[in-house]
Amino acid sequence: MSDFRRYGRRGWLCGAALLVAVSWGGGAVAADQAAAAKAPDGIDAPSYGAWGFDMDGRDLSIAPGNNFFGYANGRAVHDIVIPPDMTAYGPFNMLHELSRKRVQDILNELAAHPVADPVTVDQKLGTFYATFMDEKGIEARGTTPLAADLDAVRAVGDRSAFAALLGHAQTGFQHSLFGMGIQPDAKDPTVYALTLDQGGLGLPDRDYYLKPALAAKKTAYQAYVQQVLTLIGWPDAAKQAQAIVAFETRLAEVHWARQDMRDPDKTYNPINVADLARRAPGFDWAAYLTGAELPETIVKSGTLIVGEPDAVVGEAKIASETPLDTLRAWLAFHLAGSAAHYLPKAFVQASFDFNDRTLGGQPQLPDRWKRGVTATGHAMGMALGQTYVARYFPPEYRRMMESLTTELKAAFRVRLQHNTWMGAQTRAAAVQKLDHFTIQIGYPKRWRDYSTLVVRQGDAYGNAARAEAFEWRYWLGHLGHPVDRDEWDMTPQTVNAYNNPLFNEVVFPAAILQPPFFNPKADPAVNYGAIGGVIGHEMTHSFDDEGRKFDYMGRLKEWWTKDDAARFNTLADRFGKQYDAFEVLPGVHVNGKLTMGENIADLGGLTLALDAYHASLHGKPAPVIGGLTGDQRVFLGWAQVWRQKLRDDTIRQRVMTDPHSPPQARVNIPMHNIDAWYKAWNVKPGDTLYLKPEERVKIW
C-alpha cells in the first residue's frame, strides 16, 4: 500500500528513510558514551555524566573553531561500533532499541496465550505478534498465502483490470504506479482531500535508474527482481526482470526530483477526474479509483490534489504502452517483495540482501523479534502506544515539556518582533501564526479503535494485509467529515518529532523525551541545547522555506509581501550554498536544496534554544559547570544529540533521498552562523569554521 500524506509528516528529526520505529533494519543517528563500543543488550537510558553531557566523548585534540562536531563528539563517535543489524548507531538508535525492547516486553506478555479469533485489542496484539513469531508455521505454509493475490495478478487480462488492481493496492500488498492518500486540503485544512503522487519505483530514488555512478546498484536490483520472480515460480524470470527494470527506468525518467517535490505550491494541483482522464487517456482512472474503494461521486466527478501532474500523466502513458506480460510480472514481483517479511526465509533473506545489505551496507538481518515488533507496530501502533504511555511516560515529563515549549515559544515571539529584514505587515502575520501555534506532547488526546480489524492465529500474511486494508478504510472514513486536528502521524513509542503545517502544530511523542534529548537530571543549559533545540527546530519548520507558505490556520496561502519573500529567499539561498559545499564523503556533497527546510530548522532551533536559556536566567549570571560556561553547555547539548556513526553506503543513499543533512553538518554549519558561538569558544579568523560577520546567515 502507498499512502503519501504529503504535508502531514514534515520536519521529522530523522526523515522517512530513517524513521526508527518503522524501519525493518537500519536506524537513525547519534551515539551514547555508555554503549558506544557495543550493541545494546540490557538497555537502560544512560545518565550522560554528572550533569547531562558526556565529557569523555569529546576529542580535545580538535579545536572547537575547526570542527565543533569533532571537538564535542570525536572520541565517542570513534569508539562506536555499529551493530551488524543496523546501518547507523547513536542516541536515536539507542532510544529506539529501548523503546523496541519495552514494546517486546508488552507483546511477550500479550502473546503468551494467542487466540484463534481474538476480540479484544490486547488479544489482537498478542495473536498478531505470536503468529509473526511462528517461523515454523510460516515456513510450512510456503507461498500458499500469496496464491490468491498472485492469481489476481495472473487474471489481469486488459488495461482496465490492471488499473483496478493498482487501486486495490491500497488494501493490501499489491503495488501501484501512484501514491494515493487522504489528508486535509492544503488550501482548506478543515476538509479532507484525496491526493495523488508519482510512484511505482522499486529503488529508493529516480537517480538509481538514471545516474551512471549507480549502475552497479541497478544491476543488483535486476538480479533481485529475477530472484524474487524465481521464488514465486514466475515464468521467464530473467527476461521479465530485465523488462521490469526497463519499465521502471522509463518511469524514473518522468519522475520529479526530490527537491522539486518540497515546494507546496508546485505540488498543489487540483485536477478533476474527467480532466485527468483526458490528459492521460490510456489509463482507466474510473477502474483505478473504484478498485481503491472510493465513493462513486469521486469516481465519476471527484477532484484529486495531484502532486506531480506531468509525472503522473507520464507514468499512466508509459503503462499504457507497456506489454501486459511485463505489467503482470511487475505486479507479481512487487507483491512478493512487499510481503517478504510475512513469507518463508528465502523471501526474507532475498529482501534483506538487496534492500538492506546492498543498498544500505547493513551486514546482518535483525532478529525476528525485532521484525515482529515492527510488524505489530505497523499494524496496530496506537494500540501499543496506549500501553507504552501507561507504563513508561511519567506525567511530570509532560508538565516539564509544556513549560519548556512555552519558553521556546516566548523566545520565538521576541525574535519575530525584532526581525530586521522583514517588513511590519509580514512580521505581524508571522506573530499571529506563532500565537496560533499548538504543541502536542507524549500521546494523542484520543486513541484508535481497532474493533473492526480482523486478526487470526496462524495467518501472518493475512493479518498484515488486513491491517493495510484497515488503515486505508480508516482514512476513507474521514472523507466528508470535519478534519480532526488531534490526529497524530506518529505513535507515542516513536523516537522522533514532527511539524504538521496543515495544523500549525508540532508533536513530540513520548519515546523521544529521554536522555540525551530530555534529561530531568541534567543541567538546564544542556536540556535547552538538546530538547530545547529540538522544540525550536520543530517550531521553525512553520517558518522554513515550505512551512512559511502556510498561514496561521494551516492554509496554503501567500501571507508575505513580495519584498519580504525575496529577502527570505536570498538568505535561504546563501544558507543552502554552505551545505552544497559540505563534503560528507570524498566527492559526496550535501544537497542544499533538498535539505533546505531541515537546515533552516536546525539554525532556528539552536538560536531559539540559546535565547530561551538566556531568558531563563532572569538576568543572573549562568553558573560555570565543569569549567564550561552556560552558553558553552547549550552548544554541547545540541552537539551531543547528533553524535553518530553511519555506514558509507547509508550516507550515500541518504544524501540522495533524505531531506536531513548528515550529523557533522547539523552541528558545524548552524553553529558558525550564530554570533554567540564565536564568543563562547573564542573562534578567530583563520579557524576552519570562521565566517566573517557579514557572511553569517541570520534568518530567524
Pairing type for strands 505-509 and 645-646 reads unpaired
Q: What is the CA radius of gyration of the chain?
A: 25
Q: State whether 165 and 278 are in the same domain.
A: yes
Q: State whether 494 and 424 are in the same domain.
A: yes
The residue written with cell numbers 511462528 in the block is: 134
The three cell numbers of residue 541 are 519548520
Greatest Cα pair distance in the chain:
77
Q: Is residue 147 part of a domain?
A: no
Q: Is residue 106 part of a domain?
A: no
Q: State whether 307 and 405 are in the same domain.
A: no
**CATH number for position 429:** 3.40.390.10
Residue 99 is inside which H or E element, if any? helix 91-111
Q: State whether 521 and 639 are in the same domain.
A: yes
pLDDT number for residue 24: 31
301 C-beta neighbours (distance < 10 Å), count:
10
Q: Residue 390: CB partners within 8 Å, gap ≥ 6?
A: none
Task: Decide if 441 contacts 506 (C-beta within 8 A).
Answer: no
Residue 179 is inside which H or E element, if any? strand 178-185
671 phi and psi angles, rounded to 5 deg: -55, -45
pLDDT number for residue 47: 61
Q: Is residue 113 part of a domain?
A: no
Q: State whether 485 and 628 are in the same domain.
A: yes
Render the burial of 340-360: b for 16+ CB within 10 Å, e for the rest: bbbbbebbbebbbbbbbbbbb
Structural domain boundaries enclosing 263: 156-323
Query: What CA–CA distance (Å, rounded) separates 93 from 408?
Result: 26
pLDDT number for residue 619: 96
Q: Is residue 251 part of a domain?
A: yes
Q: Is residue 3 part of a domain?
A: no
Domain end point (choices 323, 339, 364): 323
Q: Is residue 59 part of a domain?
A: yes
pLDDT number for residue 23: 29
Residues listed for the chain: 700
Q: Is 265 helix (H, G, I), strand (E, B) or coil?
A: coil
Ranges under pLDDT 50 in the chain: 1-43
Would you list the DSSP string of 392-448? H--HHHHHHHHHHHHHHHHHHHHHHHT-SSS-HHHHHHHHHHHHT-EEEEES-SS--
β-partners of residue 192 are 184
**CATH number for position 254:** 1.10.1380.10
pLDDT number for residue 48: 82
Contacts 24+ apart (CB under 8 A), 552-555: 552/429, 552/432, 552/433, 552/435, 552/436, 552/504, 553/189, 553/436, 553/504, 554/184, 554/189, 554/500, 554/501, 554/502, 554/503, 554/504, 555/186, 555/187, 555/188, 555/189
Omega within 30 of 0 (cis) for the link into 516? yes
Q: State whether 381 and 319 are in the same domain.
A: no
Q: Is residue 207 part of a domain?
A: yes
Query: What CA–CA distance (Å, rounded) separates 225 from 217?
Result: 12
Q: State whether 85 and 213 are in the same domain.
A: no
Q: State whether 647 and 562 are in the same domain.
A: yes
Q: State whether 434 and 528 are in the same domain.
A: yes
Q: State whether 86 and 180 are in the same domain.
A: no
Residue 105 is inside which H or E element, if any? helix 91-111
Total tally of structural domains belonging to the chain: 2
Q: State whether 517 and 396 are in the same domain.
A: yes
Q: State whether 632 and 494 are in the same domain.
A: yes
pLDDT number for residue 553: 97
Start-to-end Cα distance in the chain: 39
Domain end point (choices 288, 307, 323): 323
